[in-house]
Amino acid sequence: TSPKIKVDLDNSTGVAVLRMQSPPVNSLSLDFLTEFCINLEKLEMDKSCRGLIITSVSTHTHTHTDTDTVTQSHKTMIHTITPPVCVVSQTLSKVSSTGLDIITLPVCVCVCVCLVSQTLSKVFSAGLDIMEMYGKSPERCGEFWKAVQEMWLKLYGSNMATIAAINGSSPAGGCLMSIGCDYRIMADNPRYSIGLNETQLGIVAPFWFKDTLVNTVGNRAAELSLELGLLYSAPDALKIGLVDQLVPEDQVLSTAQDTMSKWLAVPDHARQITKSMMRKQTIDKLLSNREADITNFVSFITKDSIQRSLRMYLEMLKSRKA
């Protein structure tokens, strides 16, 4: 199977970019989480790596040639074109760079290479893979949950400076991954949402999800957000401090790179000790309750009523599509 994660470490800056590339929605399956943790561990041990940016991308390459009038699918595509690799007709590039009065575009000829697939470009991560929690044996559920814990422990406790470059929706486990980082930059697109929406699925975010959210947005916002299972649009997420900054979609990664240089200007040891001082208590709480947390998860998720909730949620996802 092809890798679900691609890591590029720039030795001159000491910054690694980890791209999630598991279509259609970067859901966190056991395989994905295992690969994620292996990559994180490698970077953690590599003394030349000081900063980590996590983002979503697909290697899907879309080549398109057309002589027709611009259609809806062209419009969608234009949004996802990454400028450096986009070769388009004069008219099209002009219009797309001015922010898009594309409805009035005339007949055009275009040849474009999209770096980001249409499905994946809308999603940072859809969170835990629901199929890993539905109809699985208790043993398998336990193994899966251990991998979820491991992902969070490694990320939340990382010595690297970590930035989430959130270039799409990021519900539930995707949000957990984002708030596990030191800083969050999200695409300024009101269609993208982020939050811990577990209650909407009829399940309960565990205490360490809750603790991470409280540490990020404070008790009251966390309480509202968890009880109602709220998914915040990017602008609303900024308002409550769930993300730190919004930037135009095509600048998410470059802003993360710029921001990272500020984080890396702080001496590593001072930043790391401070980070540990802020996060250690939360991490220790899970470390000392790890087995009990796995047992809780397994007995909760395998309950008939919870399985029914998950089935209904999956059906809702499918029907929404239809």
CB of 120 to ligand CO8, least distance (A): 8
Candidate segments 50-58, 193-201, 215-223, 273-281, binder of ligand CO8 by CB under 6 A: 193-201
Q: Is 189 a catalytic residue?
A: no
**Residue 163 within binding range of ligand CO8, rule CB under 6 A:** no
Q: How far apart are CA 77 and CA 64, in angstroms?
A: 10
Near ligand CO8 by CB under 6 A: residue from 169, 225, 259, 282: 169
CB of 13 to ligand CO8, least distance (A): 31
**Beta carbon nearer to ligand CO8, 27 or 259:** 27
Query: Omega into 24 within 30° of 0, i.e. cis?
Result: yes
User: Contact 244/183 with Cβ under 8 angstroms?
Assistant: yes
Candidate segments 182-190, 195-203, 218-226, 256-264, binder of ligand CO8 by CB under 6 A: 195-203
Candidate segments 42-50, 98-106, 158-166, 313-321, binder of ligand CO8 by CB under 6 A: 313-321
**Residue 318 within binding range of ligand CO8, rule CB under 6 A:** yes
CB of 248 to ligand CO8, least distance (A): 20
DSSP state of 51: E
CB of 111 to ligand CO8, least distance (A): 26
Q: Say how many C-beta atoms besides its own lie within 10 A of residue 79's C-beta.
A: 17
Q: Is 173 a catalytic residue?
A: yes
Q: Is 197 a catalytic residue?
A: yes
Candidate segments 8-16, 64-72, 159-167, 169-177, binder of ligand CO8 by CB under 6 A: 169-177
**137-143 long-range CB contacts below 8 Å, 24 or more apart?**
138/298, 138/302, 140/30, 141/297, 141/298, 141/301, 141/302, 142/294, 142/295, 142/297, 142/298, 143/30
Q: Is 241 a catalytic residue?
A: no
Q: Name the catalytic one among 174, 196, 198, 249.
A: 198
Q: How far apart are CA 153 and CA 222, in angstroms?
A: 20
CB of 296 to ligand CO8, least distance (A): 7
Q: Say how many C-beta atoms besides its own lie within 10 A of residue 52's C-beta.
A: 26
In the region spanning residues 94 to 123, those forming contacts with ligand CO8, defined by CB under 6 A, are 119, 122-123
Near ligand CO8 by CB under 6 A: residue from 130, 213, 242, 294: 130
Q: How far apart are CA 195 and CA 231, in angstroms?
A: 4
- Sign of the CA dihedral 8, 13, 15, 19? negative
In the region spanning residues 279 to 298, those forming contacts with ligand CO8, defined by CB under 6 A, are 297
User: Contact 125/174 with Cβ under 8 angstroms?
Assistant: yes
**Residue 212 within binding range of ligand CO8, rule CB under 6 A:** no
Burial 127-142 (b: 16+ CB within 10 A, else e): bbbbebbeebeeeebb
**Beta carbon nearer to ligand CO8, 269 or 321:** 321
Residue with tokens 């080549």: 63
Question: Would you tell me which residues interact with ligand CO8 (CB under 6 A)?
Answer: 24-25, 27, 119, 122-123, 126-131, 169, 171-173, 197-198, 201, 203-206, 297, 300-301, 317-318, 321
